[in-house]
Each structure stands twice: as C-alpha cells, then as structure tokens.
Amino acid sequence: MSGGHAHHQLYLDRETAIHRLAPQCKIAAVLVFVIAVVATPRETDWPYAVYALALLGVAAVARVPALVVVRRMVVEIPFVIFALLLPIIARGPRVDVLGVSLSANGLESAFILLAKGTLGVVASILLAATTRPRDLLLGLQRLRMPETLVQIMTFMFRYVEVVLAEMTRMRIARESRGFQARHAGHLRVLANSAGALFIRSYERGERVHLAMLSRGYVGRMPVLVDVRSAPSQWAVAALLPLVAVATTAAAWVIR
Amino acid sequence: MTASLLVEELAFAYPDGHQALFGVNLAVQRGERVAVLGPNGAGKTTLVLHLNGILTGGRGTVQVAGLPVVKENLREIRRRVGIVFQDPDDQLFMPSVREDVAFGPANLGMRGPELEERVHEALALVGMAQFADRPPHHLSYGQRRRVAVATVLAMRPEILVLDEPSSNLDPASRRELADILLGLPVTILMVTHDLPYAFQLCPRSVLLDGGVIVADGSTYDLLCDTATMSAHRLELPFGFDPRSVGAPAG
C-alpha cells in the first residue's frame, strides 16, 4: 500500500530568484528578520507596516499567492486565541469597546503579540514555500547546526510518511471492528493506539540502526550532499533582514 | 580455495537466557547460492546477525573469506557481508536513493567521482539507475527492495545475505528480483520461507531448526524429502511439485 504524497505540501515548485537562493542564506535571513521584528520597541506600531510590506515584496518576487499564505496561517490559531484572551484577563486601566470592559494594556499586548507572531509565521511560510524540506536540512547543516539535531530531523523527514501509513492502518483496523470515537471514554482506546504506534516506531528505529551498523555506520553520517552559496546569494538574501534591522533601529531612535 | 563463509560450532543465547543456536556448522563456497530454510523461531535471524558481528559473544567462530568475525575486523567484515533486511523501509533511511546507496561506501571512506561511479554501478546492477534522485518513499515496494539490494552491492560484498527477499512482492516484482539475483556475480545466502523461490534461485539448501542445521544438500532433494520437510514444519505450497520442474542439471 502506498500512502499519499503529503509531504511536499508546504513547498511551491517555482523558478524564481528566491527559490534559487541557497537554503542557508534564506534560513539566516528569516532568523535575523524575526529577531529584528521581536526587538521592535513597544511604544511604536508603524514598523509593523514596514515589515509587512517587506514580506509582501518577498511573496511577490517568489510568486507565492496570498491565499496559500493565508490558508497556512491556521497554525497560528492557538496564539490568536491567547492574544484575544489577553485584553479580557489582563489588569490595569480599562477601556470600553462595544460595551465590553477591556484592559488597555492587554489590548496593546494583544496587538503586539499578534503582529509579531503573524510576521514570524508568514516569514516561515515563505521560507517553506520556496525551499524544499531536504534543502532546509542541508542549509541547517551548512549553518553548523549540531549534527545530531540535523540527523534527527532528517530521519523524521524520511519516516514521517512511514509512521503516518502505520497510523492509518491502525485506524482502519479499529474502524473495521466497529470502533468510532464518540465520547471521552473512547480516549482510552486512542491512547492505546498511540502507545502501540510509539512502540512500533521505536522498534523500527532499532531495526534501522541495525541496518546502519551493517553498512559500516560508526556514529557519524557521511556528508554526501552539500549546498554551496555564492556571496551574491548572501547579498540578495540580506535585503529582507536589512530592511527589518534598519526599521527596528529607526524605531528605537525616534520613539 | 577459501570459503566465502565458514561457520563453525556457533552457539548463542540471548541475555534473557533464551538459547537460539546450539552449534551451527556451515560452509558456503565462493559463487554458491544457498537457501536457509526453517520454521519460525528456528534461529535464522540470529544466525544472520552473527554473520556481520551484530551479535557476538557466544561460542564458536564465523569467518568471511578467511577473516574471522571479531571486533578488530568489524569494519572490513561489514564491507564483505552485505545484509539485505526484510523491510526495505528499515534499510533505506536516507533522503534519496543515491545517498542511500552511497552510505555504505562513504562509511568506508570513499568520496567524489569514485563514489559516484560505485553508486551508479550498484544501481545499474538492479536496474534502478534512473531512480537515483528519488526519495525512497516514492518508489514501489518492489523497487525499494531492489534499491535495498543495491545499497549493499555498492560495498562490493563477498557474500550477499537476503532476509526473506520475496516477501510482500507481487508476482512480477518477485520474478524481476529473481532475474537480478541470478545475474549477480556474488555468493548468496538467502533466508526464506518461500520454497519455490529457494528452488528457483539456490541449487543448495540448509534446513535450520531448533538452533542446529538438520539437513544440508541439494534444494531439489530436500524439497522432495517429505518426511524431513514435515518433521520441521515445512510444506510445499498447494499445486507446487519440484518433480514437475525436475532436478536442475549438474
């Protein structure tokens, strides 16, 4: 049985200047951009418009449709809920909005949290839409991320579909015997399945390790693919973080 | 001539006390293809894991082309013994077919064009050269099994050890794999329950049961020996009669 091809969903296959940039340049650019956004002084709100415009520019050059970005922003929902709660639960002076008494501090914090969070999420979505997952890992390796972490992520990328397929087979087996999760009591059954899935994955990990040892693995993965970057690529990738850093710096000066 | 594989008086008990092997003797000459038959729990997997030193510490010795399987030699032993595990998803753990096939030779220190050449050669042997840049999970099961064979062929092994090579293959993939294996210039030891497959591929079979070799001879003779077969829980599939195919020449 073959599973669906669920994994490249985040990546949009295009031929643009941004797609062609070496992954390590893009990762570093997003990281610096996010740090600059987070460092924006509390008292200002105009910088967020600049950041958003900068991201809009990147999306336009990379030909990533707005709808795609919006649809993927669902990952942010838990933050949004938290942000929406802030004005209600925060203390301090209160203001009336449509007859509801809200905390002024909370409103401000909620706006900042939402703005910063959204910008970070959009930047990551753009990174994922323009870089293949495999290249992301190679980029992290190039940026000297600890080898073990890169290895863990590489194996995750390789085995996520195998584990998902296993999960699907277990669900089909459950349902074929008449099981349907209808009330909280059924959580017990689902928890058992999760445990069984964990054990199976663990055992697979042991078998994979055996197969690795059998082919001469001695604790270090050989580096077989490398992604090189030219200074010109770094220069192009630096544009986005430069805009963000300049904006933050200006905001600190003129606040 | 030195045997490809020489197992002498091999005995092994797992740490929990379960004794799996009770003195196995087996010699496989260079270029031979030998099937290891036996019911579940006979000790087949335990034997396989001794061949490249994953399991050690029992009694007896294993030699691969004259080199004893001991800790100092493990690197060379693992080059000489290529094990193809049953589930290709266990064997193919790298992000692309090319990297997976390169993993073994790269661990031996090979790099650059020489490594490229080795990868291409191994993939060509199993007819998968055009799939080098695919991720393994985009291949069919039969293709993955063939790539799994290539991952060990890339190390130019002295002996190829296959664990249930025909399991989960559809009939066409099963035959394609057989054609590939028959064309390989390498010693083969094949653990299987698939008796027709053993008969097709291996002129010689050994029967492992209860941790010892209880029969060793031509596959044809063994499959025709109904008394020995049934004594060790081996049965021919319905409708299959080796006599209707006939004893292989030579």
pLDDT given at position A153: 92
Which whole number is the average pLDDT over B109-122? 94
Which whole number is the average pLDDT over A140-168? 91
pLDDT given at position A1: 37
Do A11 and A59 lie in a common domain? yes
Which whole number is the average pLDDT over A131-144? 91
Query: Does residue A219 fall inside a structural domain?
Result: no
Do A191 and A207 lie in a common domain? yes
ipTM of the complex: 0.87
pLDDT tens figures, B141-167: 999 999 999 999 999 999 999 999 999
pLDDT given at position A225: 82
Residue among A206, A215, A227 with most chain B CBs within 10 A, to mutate: A215
Starting at the edge strand that comes first in sequence, how are the strands of the sheet with B19-28 ordered?
A: B19-28, B5-13, B59-64, B67-68
pLDDT given at position B10: 96
Is residue A2 pLDDT above 60, yes or no? no
Per mean pLDDT, which range of A185-194, B6-15, B47-56 is the poorest? A185-194
Query: Does residue A122 fall inside a structural domain?
Result: yes
* Pairing between β-strand B33-37 and β-strand B187-191 as defined by DSSP bridges: parallel
Query: Does residue A222 fall inside a structural domain?
Result: no
**DSSP 8-state assignment for residue B116:** H
Residue A111 structural domain: 5-140+227-254
Distance CA A175, CA A201 (A): 21
Do A175 and A117 lie in a common domain? no
Do A163 and A123 lie in a common domain? no
Do A237 and A210 lie in a common domain? no
pLDDT given at position B159: 97
Å between B198 CA and nearest CA of chain A = 24
Do A245 and A205 lie in a common domain? no
A152 part of contact set with chain B, CB < 8 Å: no
- Chain B hits for A5, CB-CB cut-off 8 Å, are 138
Do A152 and A125 lie in a common domain? no
Q: Name the domain count of chain A.
A: 2
Among partner residues B99, B107, B135, which is closest to A217 by beta-carbon distance?
A: B107
Which whole number is the average pLDDT over B72-90? 94
Do A117 and A239 lie in a common domain? yes
Residue B163, strand partner residues = B191
pLDDT given at position B250: 53
- Chain B hits for A216, CB-CB cut-off 8 Å, are 75, 78-79, 104, 107-108, 155
A residues 205-224 lying closer than 8 A (beta carbon) to B? 207-208, 210-218, 222, 224
Do A241 and A187 lie in a common domain? no
Is residue A197 pLDDT above 70, yes or no? yes
Distance CA B93, CA B87 (A): 11
Contact A13, A5 (CB under 8 A): no
**DSSP 8-state assignment for residue B207:** E
pLDDT tens figures, A60-71: 999 999 999 999
Which residue of chain B is at minimal alpha-carbon distance from A133?
B95
Contact B181, B201 (CB under 8 A): yes
pLDDT tens figures, B175-202: 999 999 999 999 999 999 999 999 999 9
Distance CA B179, CA A94 (A): 80
Query: Does residue A220 fall inside a structural domain?
Result: no
pLDDT given at position B3: 93
Distance CA B207, CA B63 (A): 20
Is residue A7 pLDDT above 60, yes or no? no
Do A125 and A20 lie in a common domain? yes
Is residue A5 pLDDT above 70, yes or no? no
Which residue of chain A is at minimal alpha-carbon distance from B103?
A222
First to last CA, chain B: 21
pLDDT given at position B249: 64
DSSP state letters, A29-91: HHHHHHHHHHTS-TT--HHHHHHHHHHHHHHHHHT--HHHHHHHGGGGHHHHHHHHHHHHH--
Which whole number is the average pLDDT over A210-222? 90
Query: Does residue A221 fall inside a structural domain?
Result: no
**What residue spans of B37-170 are helical by DSSP H?**
44-51, 74-80, 88-91, 97-107, 112-125, 141-153
Query: Does residue A238 fall inside a structural domain?
Result: yes
pLDDT tens figures, B195-230: 999 999 999 999 999 999 999 999 999 999 999 999
Is residue A3 pLDDT above 60, yes or no? no
Burial readout B12-50 (b: 16 or more C-beta within 10 A, e: otherwise): bbeeeeeebbebbebebeeebbbbbbbeeebbbbbbbbb
Do A128 and A155 lie in a common domain? no
Which whole number is the average pLDDT over A226-235? 88
Which whole number is the average pLDDT over A28-42? 95
Do A131 and A79 lie in a common domain? yes
